[in-house]
Every structure is written in C-alpha cells, then in structure tokens.
Structure 1
Amino acid sequence: MELSTLDYGFIIVFFTLVLGIGIYVSKKSGKSSTEFFLSGRTMPWWLLGLSMVATTFSTDTPNLVTDLVRTTGVSGNWGWWCFLLTGMLTVFVYAKLWRKSNVKTDLEFYELRYGGKPASFLRKFRAVYLGILFNVITMSAVTLAAIKIGGIMLGLDPIETVVGAGLITVVFSALGGFRGVVYTDFLLFFVAMAGAIGAAFYLVNIPEVGGLQAIIENDMVKSKMDILPDLSDTKMVITILVIPLAVQWWSSWYPGGEPGGGGYIAQRMLAAKDENHAIGATFFFNIMHYALRPWPWILVALASLVVYPDIASIAQAFPNVPADKLGHDLAYSAMLTKLPSGLLGVVLASLIAAYMSTISTQLNWGSSYLVFDFYKQQINPNATEKQMVAFGRVSTVVLMVLSAVLALAMQNAMDVFNLLLSFGAGTGLIFILRWFWWRINAWSEISAMFASGILSILIATTSLKSFLFDVETGIFPDWGELPFIMIVTTIIWVTATFVTQPESKEVLRSFYRKIQPGGPGWSKVVDEAKQDNEEIVDSNEKWSVPSGITAMLLGVVLIYSIMFATGYWIYGRTTSALILTAVAAVSGFFLIKAWGRMKENIL
C-alpha cells in the first residue's frame, strides 16, 4: 500500500510533537524518582483520566474487538465489558483509599498492610512477577498487533515494525518519565479517537460494504449484531455472559481491570492532586472507555464480515502475511487499507498513537516496580534519587527489548488475553477484601498468587486440560476452566489465611490509623485497640463504603445504558434506544446526588 506525501506529513508531524514533549519535560522528570514516576503528585483529574483512556486504547484492542465480533458476535465483548463493575468499584470505593495511602507504587502497599519477611518477599517478588513477566507479556501483545498492522498496511517485516515502532517510544519514555507519558497521552487520545471514528465512518460507506443498512441486512452480519447472546443457547449464555458478570470481574486480576484498583490505574490515582481528583480521573476513564469508545471498532469489525467473511479471504487478499500471523484479528488492519489518502495518514498516526501510549505507560509503570520495589529494596537501599532515575531509564530500555523479542514469537492477541485472565483467576477477591477484612495476611496473597499461576500453567501445557474440560470426555464443561481455577485458588488462600498467624497488632493498627477503612471487618482490631487505651479511629471520618457501593451500581447502570443506547441508535432500533437513554438520564441524576454525599464525607 502506497502512502501519499500528505499521509507521511501527518505521521512526521505527530512523531515530532511526541518527541518534542518527551525532550521538553525530560529535565523536570529527571529531578527525582517521584517526579519521574508520579510527576510530583500534582496531576488534575481530567489529564489523568485522558491518560488512562489513551493507555487502554492500544493497537491490540481494536484487533481483539474485531476477533471477538467476527468469532462470537458483538456479545463476545462481555469478556471485557464485565470489567466495568471492577472499574466502578475502584472509582467509588478504592480510589480515595489508594490516594490516602500515599505510597509510590501499589506494591509498596504490601508493607503498609502486612508486616515482616512475608510482606517484604511479596513486594519484591511481585515487582519482578508483574514488572517483568506480566508487563512484558502485555507489551508483546500490543507489539504483536503493531506487527500485524505493519504487515497488512505497509508490507513491513515483523522486525522492521518492532524496531521502527519501539525505538521512538522507548526514547521518549526514558526521557520524559511519567509526566512525558501523561502529557503525550493528552495528544495521543485525540489523535486515536479521530482516527477510529473517521475510519469507522468511511469504511462503513465504501462500495464493497454499501452503508450501515446493508451491513444490518447482510446474512453474515445479522447473527453477530446482538449485544446479548442468544438466550436459547445455554452454553453461549454461560460462557459469554454469566461467567464474566458472575465470576470474572471480581475474581480475575487483569492489567487495567484489577479488582480494587492496581497497576497503571493505581499509578495515576497516586499521582492525583488529592482524593477527589483520583475519583474524578477514574470515573472519567470508565465513561470514555466503555460508554463511548467501543462502537467505532465494532462497526469496522461488522463491516469486515462483508468484505472478508473468513480467514481464507484475508489470506488471499494479503498473501505476504506469514501463516503464523493469520487470524480474524487481521480483519481490522485489512479494512484500514481501503482508506483514502489523508485519512489514511490520520488513522496510521492514530494507531501509532495507540501503540505509543500503551507501551510508554507499561514501560514507566513496570520500571517503577523495578526501581521502588526491587532495586531500592533488594539491591541498593541507599540509592540516591539520581541513581533511581538512571536505573528507571535503563530498565525502561530492557523491558522494551524483552517485549519486542516475545512479540516476534506470538500469534494471536486473544490467546494472550485468555492466558492473563487465567493467571490471575481467584486472586481478585483478596484485592477487594484486604482493605476491609483484618484477617487477610501476606500468606493469603502469596498462596493465591502461586496457586492461580501453577494451575494456569498446568492446564495450559499438559493433558490436564483435556482430562478436565474436554467437550466430550472432560469432568467439567469446557467453559469451566476459569471458574475451576478461581474456586481451587480461593479454597487454597482462605485455608492459608486461617492456618497462618494474623498480622501483628502494630501493623493492623498502623494501617487502620492511616487509611481509616472502617466497617465490620475491622471491628475486632478497633475494639482491641480501645481495650488497650489506644484510639485509632478518626471521629471526623465517615464510613463511605455503603454510599460508594450505591454509587457504583448507579454508575454501572449509567455507563451500560449509554453504551447500549448508542448501539441501538446505530442499529436503528429506536424504541430500545429511547428506553435506555431514559434509564441513563435517571441513573445519572441519582448518581450525581450519591456522589455529592460521598464528596462531603471525603471533605
């Protein structure tokens, strides 16, 4: 595919702006580790919210959505739509707790909540486990998508794409730190959204597709359009709807959708000016991420079924793509090749923006773990600020290289998504409860982490999966893999909790005094402190969890209503669209009232 001078112009201007921002903020970002990883904790909610949205708008996301739509229909997106419940819980319950903790990374929380050698081990191990293993896997999935886009749209070899896309990203990430990431995310968000919306509008109306009405009437597309799965298909309902909404959202740890908050979402909450800015940032992110952004990708995925009804048609149209990279996720890139000059440059710039935003965030976040939670704790306890910033920049480069190498060996983003879900299955409940139940200790988390990881590896790499979950001969239904891992992991960590000693009184009281979590789960600790004539409860602090859960439920209704109303307006189903729009308005009204009461409690 040939790019015009105009297309190259868009891309060159974009790269120049991004590098310019990185260089501009590099001096300030290099002043201290707090500046390099948290920008001095001075960020406003709107900038952090846009940064979260830009980060989750990665090159693999439209590919993943396309894969889901083409294989299981629009309803297949419940696999990630379900994490809205996690997001809303983070907004209205956990955002203020994270900001009050004042830690530099969410892993530092371990030595705030737990004590002794188990807490120290947990912090150091997860710094490597998440900062390197999970982080590299996630970045490699994003880079894999970039490889497929480069191969389809530009005819680039995988290595050419990896080197070209990765070099500029790692340079501005290493120079600009977190401030550079957030500032560039502001630009990347608008470029990425303009590209996604512009591409959807144009591609739906190309002659091969014939417009929105032609898509809706196409026999290949009709069965894929429903937002909810076919309720008469029990297996499909359980797999696509019941498990995500009943189990997956609270039980699985997944980057960007961590129960109780965590990862780069926690990093942005910790960088906020105060608790209200942390709440505002996460709420804004969830509205944009779920309510407004999916439909441009979904429309292109549906249109692709008209032009490329199967993988064979994609392979025929793009014979230069290696066989090990072929899949339904390629259809998104295949459709983008039909864009005209000018718009093509904008869309390519938007895809580059999506890639750079996600990778730069993952690099800075993963590097923060390695600096604060491993290097500072394990290698050089007396490290100066200059040394920590230098180590952060070196680790940024190393993480980029590792992810690029792994990406070259991967084939499908969906496989990575499922692997990460199973790796974290059963651990999510701990991340939700550890703030509000005193009895959870470091051994609870250690046992859950190893149990879910070992079970996932055993099931993925041995005949155990066929024995347990084979369609015809397995002990359990083939959709039971995630619930199985979750149940076994939960049994293991709950058992470990009660057979090991609780955290010391000093640790528990110190945590309560700082965070003021409240609730019946801490009544034993509060009562024992009173008996010892020690007051750990702040009388000015009100327990906001009940009102937070109310706000969470209203937020879930609001955002799902907006998202599905948008879909029904597009489909031309006016009655359903009107009803959902009304539901959104009512839930939004009550949410404003609930949020107002919460802000009074915080202030």
Structure 2
Amino acid sequence: MGAAGYFGTIDYIFMGLYVLILIGLGFYLKRLASRSLDNYITGGKNIPWWAMGISGMASFLDLAGTAVIVSFLFLLGPQGLFVEFRGGAVLVLAFMMLWTGKWHRRSGCLTGAEWNIYRFGDCWGGRASQLMGVIATVLTTIGMLAYLIIGAGIFLSTFLPYPPELCSLVLLVMATLYTMMSGFYGVIFTDLFQVCIIMAAVIYISVKAFTGIGSVEEISEIAMKVTQNPDWISGVPKWNVQMPEGYEMYKHLLIFASFYLVRTIVAGLGTGADPRYFGAKNDRECGKLSMLWVFLMTVRWPMMIGIAVMGLYLVNDLMPDQSKMSQAADLIQTFHPDTKKPQWGELISSISNTPGVHDPQLVGELKALLGEDKWAEKMNLLSFEGTVNPEKILSAVLMISVAEGMRGILVIALVAAALSTFGSWVNLATGQFVNDFYKKWIRPKALTRELIFASWGTVIGIVVCSFLFSRTLDSINDIWSWMMMGFGAGFLVPSFLRLYWWRFNGAGSAIGTLLGIAAAIIQRLLWPDLSEIWQFVFVLTVGFVSSVTAALLTQPTDPEVLRKMYMETRPFGVWGHLKDSLSPEEREKTSREHRNDLLALPFALIWQTALFLAPMLFIIHNWAGFAGATAIGVAAFAVLYFVWFRNQPKGNFYD
C-alpha cells in the first residue's frame, strides 16, 4: 500500500498548509536574521524568555528520540523512562536551570567556543580550546543529525512508497533551506508555530490511548503476551527486566539507570553553553526559561506512553503468533544473504512497497507466512533479528490506529519536532564555526553579508556529512547510545573542569577534548560492539587523564583573565584564592547563592523525574503509581520553590 492508501485529502491539505507556512516564515525571518551575525546566532538578545523556553522544548522533542523512547516504553512500560536517564529524560536541564545557564550568560559571550577565550584568555591555549570547542560542536552536530536522519527515514518510509534514504533526503533539503535563511530567529519562531501542532498531537494521542485501553489487569496480560514483561505497568525500576534480542544489554535496568544518572550528573555539571542562555537578558530569565522548558517537556511522555500502549494492542491483534516473525526474517535473509543490519530498513521498505520487483517466490512465501491481511504493515514491523522492531511502533500506530485526517496532523507534528531539533543543532554548530573559526582565523574583517554566506556554506557542509555518516549506522538506538555514552564522554571532563577548577587551562581543555574525541572515534572503529558502560568508562578515563596531565604540565591561565572571569561569573568549586579576594559581604552573598543552588539540585532532579513519570502512570490507569509519583513531585517542587526559586533576584544576582 502506498502513500495514497494511508493519507486522505484532509491529510494532504494539512501537509500543504504546513509547508507553505514554514516557507513563508523562512522568507519573512530572513530579513531579521541577516542584519548581523549576532542576530543570526542569538537573535540579537531581543527574544522573550518564554519564547526561548518554548523553543527549547520543541528542539528537544525530536522525531528520532521519540521513536527510541517509544521503543523502550513499548518494551518496559513507564520503566523505560529510566533507560533514558542517559539523555532522553533531559535531566541536564536541572543543572542548566539552577546554575550553568546563568554562569554562561554572565560572560556576555556569543557562543560556547567564544566562552573558552573568555575563560582561558586570547593566548595559544585559549585559541586552541576555542578551536577544539568548534570541532567538538560540529562533530556532535553531524552525529546528532545522522541520528535524526535515520529516525526520519524509518518513520516516513512506513507511510510513503520510497526507501528511508530518499524520505530523509527530501526532509533534509527542506530543513536545510529554511535553516540557512532564518538562523536563530527561525529556530525560535518556527518552534512556536510547531509547538502548537505538537500540542494537538499530544492531546489527541493521550485522550485516545486513555479512553481506548482496558484495566491495568488487561494491559498487564497483553503486555506479558507481547513483550514477556510481567511488570509492564510499574513505574519502579526493577533489577532484572525482560528484553528481546538486540536489547539484552538493558536487562539489568537498575544498574543501567544508576550508571546513566552518574553520567547525567557529570554531563550536567558542564552544560549551559546554549544559544538560549547567551540570548537571555538576565540571570532570572535563565532560570525561568529553564523551568518552563522542563515543565513543557512533560507533554512528551503521556503521548509516548500512549503510543506504546496502543502499540501493545496493535501487535497483539496484528501478530498473535510472533514466532512467524523469526521465520520471515530467516526467509528474507536466505534470499538476500548479503544484507547487513544498516541496509535492512531499505530492503524491508522495498519488499513492502514494491513487491513486484522482488523474487515472486520470496513474496509468495512471506504472504503465506504472515497472512495477506495487512501484509505490508506486518512487514514494516519486522526487525533484522526476527522480532517486532520496537523502533517501528511509533509509525505503525499512526499508520493503523489513527484515523484519516488526524493521521496527517500527527505526521506533521513529528516532522515539525524533527525540524525543530534539526534547526537548533545546525544553528549551534554554524554559529560556532563562523564566529569562532571563519571570522577568528580566516576572515577577521569579513562583513555581515560574507559571514551570512559562510553560514549557508557551513549548513550545507554539515548536512552532507551527516547524511553520509547516517548510511553506516545500524539503528536509531545504535547512534543515540554512542553519541550519549561514547562520543559525548570525549569532552565531558574539559567541559566540567573549566567551570570548577581554577588551575585548569586552555591547553588542558584543548588536549583533553582532542584526545577524548579521538578515543571515542577509535572505540567506534575498533570496538563497535563495546557496551555503553565500557564506552563511557574508556573515553572518560582518556579525557580525564589527558586533561589533567596537560593542564598541570603547562602554564596556568593568566591571573588577570582568571580574575575577570571569576568576578563576573562567580562559579563554585576550587576557586579558593579568588573567592578569598572578595569582600566579606560579597563572599557571603556568593556562598549563599551557591548553597541554595546545590541544595536545590536533588529536589530538581526528583521533581523532573516525577513530572515525567506521573502522567504516564495516569494514561495506563495505574492510579496507585500515579498518586505516589504526584505526591513525590509536589513535595520536591515545594522544596525547590522555597530553597531556590523564591531566592532568585528580579534581574541579575550581582547587580
């Protein structure tokens, strides 16, 4: 069945309107974005805090991430949230809300890479650190876009009679043209438009799931039959959970969740260099936009658990005997023995959508095995391992369980989420490359027009590299886990130490980042099957040893540069001699701010986790779990309010 079978006239009308509005916004915002590089990168610091908070939510609610999280919720129920402590639960927002966002804003810098000059000085160490910051951001963006490309391709190819690569390529072209034109203005204002569509999708899916499922006993029975998980409705992470082939590494859920939490804390301590914070007007706005950002991220979870529980019912009805999936996969691999996992999605899409070009014997045997009814839909759910592909649950539910008309809106909502994330990452990498490499090293006297053209060229280069990289990857979870636990660990130590240790310098930052990234790439090439835990340990160890060693073997940061940075930013950590130089009144004021921020952290993390967990338990009718999570969330927020938010200044803390 092709696209015409899944989309009706109303769907196409909504899709056409969406594209026209997006193009119109791009041309309108091009004027504003082209006035200066500052406008292009941070919106000229004239964008309201609430708009940036809403934009942050849209940029984190991506299509590929939604598909990954839905896959774990499908397998584990609400406990899938704890797998996403590695990144999808965005617990780093707690750190950005409490202190790292405002620390970066106080610098007055334009980008995170420029901040390295502010921290280490305009010397060889500072410039090397700035350059490595650009390289790290560009490489991270390439990896994240590759992850988005795979997710978009898998999703769209389920609905359209084209292979995943072509679907993602068309989406990339549209997103690239728009992002090139409108810069940070486009990121923010398009996100406001797209959040309206996303909210419509959230409400529809949540209501449909809540009203369309049975009791917790019925859900438990179906979940046990489909996933073999006896604790699917629980919100409490278990020591051991049932996982299918290809996901066995996650069976010790509590260990993984604890390890992911440690990783998140290390990563969170070094965050904050987001364009939204550089574009905020004062300290209070940093906290408010972050709190709004966290609160709005809540809407993602009832939608995703709604899709997951609808997926349970769908798979139970569509394929009551899942042993046939394994036989079907073996049959396909017999006829296509050279097909590897990265090419599996393209092959399945081709067999499903254009069976006439394949061996008639293969197609005939597959139809006999799976049944003629909804044969293409069953094929699209088939994984390389011969199980139900959990990464396809999202698209399968929309394709089969959602009515015509609303289906188009939901597809647009998820495409909008993908474009929001795409725009945010590309804008971040482009801003740093042009401001901190092209303008700094190649054309210091370049005029605004030239810098905008350089930005356009950078966007195209990053997108092309991302598409080529995506062609080498096995799955969405494959690249997401490596980006979070392998590559991302390469620069965690330098990002952390520069904020908390006075003796850390530009050489330590540059060399630590370089060797950390190199370790992650070497691991990917030589030991691609290394578990996530050992990826993180290996890369983090290399980054830590190289960062500290390089810092101690080279000259400290210029005392005047360091003093200026400390007096303006006021971080906590090992800054003893600088803090001692403050007057008693200023020292007490600084200590009080630090004390409030640190005391609030555990309550912010608990509040955020409960905020995401409670609505999921509500959707699946687990009333006891919902009441418990809600009570914990309310109590944590009360402490957060009295310890932290109530003490926030009306503007800047040190005015």
Fold conserved between structures, TM > 0.5: yes
Deviation at 1:54, TM superposition (A): 0.5
**Alignment check: 8 A CA contact 2:487 2:520 kept:** yes
Deviation at 1:398, TM superposition (A): 2.6
| Equivalence for 2:570 | 516
> AA paired with 1:55?
S
1:31 aligns with 2:35: yes
- Higher mean C-alpha displacement, 157-166 vs 7-16: 157-166
- 2: distance between equivalents of 1:552 and 1:50? 22
1:68 aligns with 2:72: yes
- Higher mean C-alpha displacement, 563-572 vs 88-97: 563-572
| Equivalence for 1:597 | 647
Partner SS, residue 107 of structure 1: helix
Distance 1:324 1:267, change over 3 A: farther
| Equivalence for 1:118 | 125
> AA paired with 1:340?
A
| Equivalence for 1:248 | 263
Deviation at 1:299, TM superposition (A): 2.7
Question: Among 563, 568, 591, which residue is 2:617 paired with?
Answer: 568
Question: Among 163, 187, 194, which residue is 1:157 paired with?
Answer: 163
**Alignment check: 8 A CA contact 2:205 2:306 kept:** no
Structure 1 segments unaligned to the other structure (5+ residues): 253-257, 470-477
- Equivalent runs, 1:120-199 vs 2, <5 Å: 120-131=127-138, 133-199=139-205
Deviation at 1:72, TM superposition (A): 5.2
- Equivalent runs, 1:114-513 vs 2, <5 Å: 114-115=120-121, 116-131=123-138, 133-202=139-208, 214-218=218-222, 219=224, 220=226, 222-231=230-239, 236-245=252-261, 247-252=262-267, 259-262=269-272, 266-289=274-297, 291-308=298-315, 317-318=375-376, 319=379, 327-338=389-400, 339-421=402-484, 422-425=486-489, 427-462=491-526, 479-513=533-567
Distance 1:200 1:573, change over 3 A: closer
> AA paired with 2:396?
A
- 2: distance between equivalents of 1:512 and 1:158? 50
| Equivalence for 1:473 | none
- Equivalent runs, 1:519-598 vs 2, <5 Å: 519=572, 521-527=574-580, 542-543=590-591, 544-593=593-642, 594-598=644-648
- 2: distance between equivalents of 1:464 and 1:147? 23
In the alignment of these two chains, the number of paired residues is: 575
Deviation at 1:205, TM superposition (A): 6.3
> AA paired with 1:577?
F
Distance 1:292 1:3, change over 3 A: closer
| Equivalence for 1:104 | 110
- Higher mean C-alpha displacement, 23-32 vs 572-581: 572-581
**Alignment check: 8 A CA contact 2:98 2:287 kept:** yes
| Equivalence for 1:475 | none
**Alignment check: 8 A CA contact 1:513 1:536 kept:** no
**Alignment check: 8 A CA contact 1:139 1:403 kept:** yes
- 2: distance between equivalents of 1:249 and 1:584? 20
Deviation at 1:520, TM superposition (A): 6.1
Deviation at 1:183, TM superposition (A): 0.5
Deviation at 1:129, TM superposition (A): 3.3
TM-score, scaled to structure 1: 0.87
TM-score, scaled to structure 2: 0.80
Identity of aligned pairs, percent? Answer: 19
- 2: distance between equivalents of 1:129 and 1:430? 11
Distance 1:383 1:197, change over 3 A: same
Deviation at 1:576, TM superposition (A): 3.5
**Alignment check: 8 A CA contact 2:603 2:640 kept:** yes
- Higher mean C-alpha displacement, 220-229 vs 231-240: 231-240
- 1: distance between equivalents of 2:499 and 2:75? 39
- 1: distance between equivalents of 2:136 and 2:86? 25
Distance 1:278 1:382, change over 3 A: same
Distance 1:452 1:251, change over 3 A: farther
| Equivalence for 1:472 | none
**Alignment check: 8 A CA contact 2:381 2:393 kept:** no
- 1: distance between equivalents of 2:542 and 2:65? 30
CA RMSD of aligned residues (A): 3.1
> AA paired with 1:598?
Q
Question: Among 64, 74, 80, which residue is 2:84 paired with?
Answer: 80
> AA paired with 1:440?
F
- Higher mean C-alpha displacement, 63-72 vs 10-19: 63-72
> AA paired with 1:47?
A
**Alignment check: 8 A CA contact 1:150 1:161 kept:** yes
